[in-house]
Amino acid sequence: MTSDSSPAPALCVQATQESLDDHGRVRAGWLLTQIDLAATRAGERLTQGPVAAVSVNAFQLQVPIYLGDMVTLYAECLRKGQHSLVLKMTAQAQRGDGSMVAVAEVIMTYVAVDFQGKSRQIG
For 24-44, the pLDDT digits (tens) are: 899 999 999 999 999 999 999
Q: Spell out the domains of the chain, with CATH numbers in brackets.
A: 8-112 (3.10.129.10)
For residues 52 and 58, what is the distance between their CA atoms, to the nearest angstrom?
A: 17
pLDDT tops 50 at residue 90? yes
Of residues 42 and 7, more confidence is placed in 42
The pLDDT assigned to 4 comes to 53
Residue 116 burial (CB < 10 Å; 0-12/13-18/19+)? exposed
Residue 11 predicted with pLDDT over 60: yes
Q: Quote the distance between the C-alpha of residue 103 and its chain's center.
A: 12
The pLDDT value given to residue 101:
98
Question: According to the model, what pLDDT value does residue 17 have?
Answer: 93
